[in-house]
A and B are shown apart, each in its own frame.
Chain A
Amino acid sequence: MGSMTPLFDDEYTDLPLKRALAQVLKSREAGAKVVGAYCSYAPVELVWAMGGVPAVLCAFSNASIPKAEETLPVNLCPLIKSSYGFIELKTCPFFEVTDAVVGETTCDGKKKMFELIEKKRPLHVLDLPQCPTREGAVEYWRHSINGFKKFLETSFDTVIGNEALEGAIRDTNRKNALVEKILAFGGQRPAVITWQEMYDVTTYAMVSNGEETVAKLEEIVAILAERREKRVFTSPEGAKRVLITGCPVGGDVLKVLKLVDEEGAAIVGLDSCTGLKAFAGRIEEGSGDPLMAIAKRYLEIPCACMTPNTGRMEVLKEQVDLLKPDLVIDLVLQSCHTYNVEAVKVESLVRNELGTNYLKIVTDFSSQDLGQLKTRIGAALEMC
C-alpha cells in the first residue's frame, strides 16, 4: 500500500471539510454568492446558474450539541441539534460565509428549527411534497423550486435564465456521472477505494462544479483504474465487505465506520445522502422546462421521508448486486423516525430477498455507546 497514489494530492489529506471550505472560499473571492444547504433536496443547479456556490452546512459534531440543548429538546435528532448549535456558537465556517440559506421540509424537527434561525440569514424553506408518486406532486415541487428561484433573484438582484439553468444541468450530469463511476469502484474485490476516499470525493463534489471539477474527477477515475490494473488494494484479500445505508454520515457519527475498520472489514459503499444518493440519477437536458427537469430528478431521491419510498429498495438491490457486501449496516440517527421505521422494510429486503446479513444501528454523535457498538459490529461481522 506504500506506493498508492492518493486521490487528492493536496494539503487537505484527511481533512475533506477543509478542502470543501477552501473550494467555497475560492469561489466567494471570485465574487460568487454562497448559499448554504442542509440537504440533498436543495436544487443547487439554481445556485450554480446564478454564478453562486452551494455550501453544505455543518451538522455532524457532538461539540455543538450542548449549546443547542440550551434551547432545543434533548430528545431530538443529533443532526438538527448539531446544526443549530453550530449556528448559535458561530463555529460553522461554512455558515459564517453564507449570503443565504436554503432549507426544506424533509422532517418536522428540521422545519421547526429553521424557524428559529430565520433571522440569522436570508432563509428560504422549500416545501417538499412527500408522496412523490401522487398526481400533482412533481408540479407542486416545481412550483416550490420556482419559489426558491424567485427568492434567489430577489435576494441577489439577478435573473436566472433558462440557458444558465441548462448549463448547470449539463455540469451536474457530467459531475454526477463521474462521482457514480468513482463510487462504483467499490465493487472491486479486493477493494481499491476506502470509505474515507469516497467521503473525500463526495464532500469535494458537493461544492465544486465546472471544467476544473470534471478534470479532477476524471483524474481520480484514472488513479482508481490504475490501482485496479496494478492490483494495488486498499484492503486485504478476503476482508469482509460492508455497505452502509440509512441516515447521512459525517463527523462524529463516522465512529461507526471507524469501528468497521477496526474489525478489519472494508466499507465498499456509502448509500446515503453523504454518499451515492446526492449524485445518483440524471436531470433531463434540453427539455424546454429546466425547472421541471430539475424537479423530477430531485423528487426521485429515495429519502425515508417519502412514502412510498420504493426507490430506496431499488437502489439497495442495485448496490448489493454491484458491491456484493457481506453485511449491510443500516445506520439510523436517534429520533429519525422515518429511517427508524423504514428499517423494518430494509431488513426484510436485505435478509430475505437479497440473502445478505443486516445490522441496524441507532446512534447519536456521542461516544457513550462505543463499547456496545464494537460488540454489535464485531458480532455481525463474525456472522458473515
Chain B
Amino acid sequence: MDADTFEVTERFRGATSIDLASQLAGIRESYSWDAIASTGYGRFLSQKVLGGEAATEIKAYATAAHRFHREIGTVIDLGGQDTKVLSIDRNNGQLLKFEMNDKCSAGTGKFFEMMAATLGLTLDELVAAALRGERSFEINSTCTVFAESEVISLLTSGRSVEDIARAVHESLLVKLVSLLSRILTADSASVLFVGGGARNGTLVKFLADALAKEVVVPEYPDFFGAYGAAMVAKNSLMRLG
C-alpha cells in the first residue's frame, strides 16, 4: 500500500502451505518496503521472517474500518477458523469492545467448507444453491461434525440440496446474530462485514434481512485485515518520523 495515497499497489494471495516460512522468505526476496506489519494467526511467524511489527487482526480490522468506513461502528469478521465482532468509536476509531466465537468451528467459515464437501458441492455452488432454497427446516446440531451427519441423513430423506444449503446458511446466521447481539446498539444503522466469509453473497443478504440493517461489504473483504496491518505499519512509520 502506498503510504501517501492509501492506494493498494499490489495484492498478493498465497495458498496455505505447510512451509509458510519459506513462502515468507520468498516475499522477503521479491519485495521491498519502508514499513511492514503482520496480522492474523501467522503474525508472529511472519514477523520473525519479515521483521516489522505484529498486530492482532482485531486491531487491523478496527484500523482499516475507521479509515475506509468511518460512519460504521460495528464490524463482523467471518474467517476460516474464528468469527469476531467489533465495536468501534466512530469519532476516534478507538476499539471499544470485541467478542469472538468460542473455540468450536461451527460458527466459522470452516463450517461452510465442510458442509459443501459433504453435499459434494464447491463453496460457490453451495452459496448459489442456498439462495434458491426454501427455509423449511433447521439443522439442529450445533457441532460441525454432527451437522455433517445430519446433512447426510437429510439428503437420504429426500430433502433438496437447495433447502439443505439454505439451512446450513441459517444455522451459521443464528450464531452470527447471537454474537452480534452482544455489541450491536440500536443506533447502528449499518454493519461492516469483512473476512473471507463476506464474499458469500447469500449470507450477506440473509444477514441484512435478519438484522434489518444495511450490511456493507468492501470490495476485497478478505484483504481488509491486510489493509489494516498496512495502516498500522504506516502509523508506526509516521511516529518514528
Contacts and interface: CB of A to CB of B under 8 A. Distances in A.
Nearest to B95: A383
Contacts of A51: none
A375 B56 contact: yes
Given A375-B41, A379-B98, A383-B95, A369 B103 contact: yes
Contacts of B94: 383
Contacts of A382: 55-56, 58-59, 95
A372 B82 CA distance: 8
Nearest to B102: A362
B143 interface: no
B82 A379 contact: no
B128 to A, nearest CB: 32
A242 to B, nearest CB: 16
B55 to A, nearest CB: 7
Interface in B30-57: 41, 55-57
B56 A378 contact: yes
Contact of A368 (B55, B58, B103): B103
A375 B58 contact: yes
A52 B103 CA distance: 44
A234 B64 CA distance: 35
B57 A375 contact: yes
Interface string B88-111: 000000110010101100000000
Given A371-B41, A382-B55, A382-B56, A376 B103 contact: no
B8 to A, nearest CB: 23
A376 B59 contact: no
Contacts of B58: 375, 378-379, 382
Contacts of A379: 56, 58-59, 95, 98
Interface of B: 41, 55-59, 82, 94-95, 98, 100, 102-103
Given A372-B103, A375-B100, A383-B59, 17 more contacts: A362-B102, A368-B103, A369-B103, A372-B82, A372-B100, A375-B58, A375-B82, A376-B100, A378-B56, A378-B58, A379-B58, A379-B95, A382-B56, A382-B59, A382-B95, A383-B94, A383-B95
26 contacts: A362-B102, A368-B103, A369-B103, A371-B41, A372-B82, A372-B100, A372-B103, A375-B41, A375-B56, A375-B57, A375-B58, A375-B100, A376-B98, A376-B100, A378-B56, A378-B58, A379-B58, A379-B59, A379-B98, A382-B55, A382-B58, A382-B59, A382-B95, A383-B59, A383-B94, A383-B95
Interface of A: 362, 368-369, 371-372, 375-376, 378-379, 382-383
